[in-house]
Structures are given as structure tokens and as C-alpha cells.
A = this chain, B = another copy of it.
Amino acid sequence: MTKRAVVLLSGGLDSATVLAIAVERGYECHAISIDYGQKHSAELDAATRVAQFLGADSHRCIALPAGIFAGSALTDPGLDVPENGGEGLPITYVPARNTIFLSLALGCAEVLAAQSIFIGVNAVDYSGYPDCRPEFIDAFQKLALLATKQAVEGAPIVIEAPLIQLSKQQIIERGLALGVDYAMTTSCYRADELGRACGHCDACKLRAEGFRAAGVTDTTRYQYG
């Protein structure tokens, strides 16, 4: 029987690694990217390249109406992405984002009769978002066991978060071993339309530290220099 998976693919480093892992495990992979009004389209362009390069069987972009995620620095033109997050949850937090992404993936998985959903959340080198923690993923798994016809009929959909306990260094090492070309990925919260990174936001810093720790040169292009 074909093993089939829905893979949430943002176009960043983590989700590209997750797609490579799902492909390696022998899944027929259906990648989905969500356009939720990100300020830049570089992320979605990167997702398209990554899906093709890593051999996803399909790639679909789901557009959500603008404004659902108001109030985040990632979507609101009136809010700047800060260079230092400061105390508490950063302003780059997007309301209920991973809950909505996993829910849409759950619907797609059931339509495709997929067995698994892969998501690249990580709770080690991350920005502290509540919906990246292992207990959040566990709670979504419990929900999924009750929510679908597939589960009722004995074929529940499994949520796979293979990066959740890895450091950024370990994620990069894993991906390189699987042939991921990280030059295709975009991590920056404020990349320009060419996909060039700012070098200063939380996401850029976490990425740079990961490559440094792995002893590997990152070919990310930067906006300045």
C-alpha cells in the first residue's frame, strides 16, 4: 500500500528538512504551503523550488483571506519586525497559526487518504511560540484521533514532528545528509522580493548560529553586502 503524507512546507530551513525526511521514509509527499498574508512572497517562492527539488508528488498553495492574522509583525504592514524580541512572546507571533495550518493539513490528509502529516516545528532553537511545543503537538494528535472519519474507521492520521527535539545544528546536519540544498530556502522574517535576508531578525540569527555550529557555510544571500 502506498504510504502517503501531507507535508506543511513554508519554504524555510526546517520544513525543507522535514520534506526530505518524509521522502526518505518512502512517503508519497503532498506539500502544502499557506499564504496567510506574509509581507513577502519570497517564502512561498522558496517552497515551490524546494518541493520540486526534493521530489514532492504535488505542491499546493492555500490562500487564506487577509486579516485573519492581524496584529503580528509578520503580516501587519504597520508593525516592524524587531531585531531583538525583548521580554515575553515576540511580536512575530501569529495568532493560532499552527493550529490553523495543522487543521487545513488534516482536511487535505483526509481528502487524500493520507496516513501522516509532517510539520517542521522545533522547540529547541526557536522563538518561543506556544504552538511549537511538544505538548501542543500532542494535543493536536489527540484532537485528530477524535476529529475525522478516518480515525473513527480505524485509520487515524498521525502527526509527525521529526525536528521537535533537535537543535538547529542537528537539523542542518540531518538535511545536508539527505541532500537538501539550503540555498533554496528562506528563513528571514523580512526577506526582500529576491529572497535576500536581512541578517538581523530572530529567524536570521537562529539560522546563522545553526550553520556556524554545524561548521558549514550558509549560502543565504543578504540584502546588505
Contacts and interface: CB of A to CB of B under 8 A. Distances in A.
Contact of A136 (B97, B104, B140, B146): B146
B110 A96 contact: yes
Contacts of A24: none
Given A143-B140, A147-B130, A95 B68 contact: no
A111 B143 contact: no
Interface in A78-94: 88-89, 93
Contact of A99 (B68, B69, B143): B143
Interface in A128-170: 130-131, 133, 135-136, 139-140, 142-149, 151-153
Contacts of A106: 95-96, 99-100
Contact of A139 (B70, B103, B133, B139): B139
Given A100-B103, A148-B130, A95 B110 contact: yes
Interface of A: 62-65, 68-71, 88-89, 93, 95-100, 102-104, 106-108, 110-111, 130-131, 133, 135-136, 139-140, 142-149, 151-153
Given A136-B143, A140-B143, A107 B111 contact: no
A71 B111 contact: yes
A103 B96 contact: yes
Contacts of A97: 107
A111 B147 contact: no
Nearest to A107: B96
A43 to B, nearest CB: 18
Contacts of A64: 62, 64
18 contacts: A69-B111, A89-B152, A89-B153, A93-B149, A96-B147, A97-B107, A99-B107, A99-B148, A103-B104, A130-B146, A131-B148, A133-B146, A136-B146, A136-B147, A139-B139, A139-B146, A139-B147, A142-B143
Which A-B residue pairs are the 5 nearest by beta carbons? Answer: A95-B110, A96-B107, A103-B103, A96-B106, A139-B143
B146 A135 contact: yes
Contacts of A139: 139, 142-143, 145-147
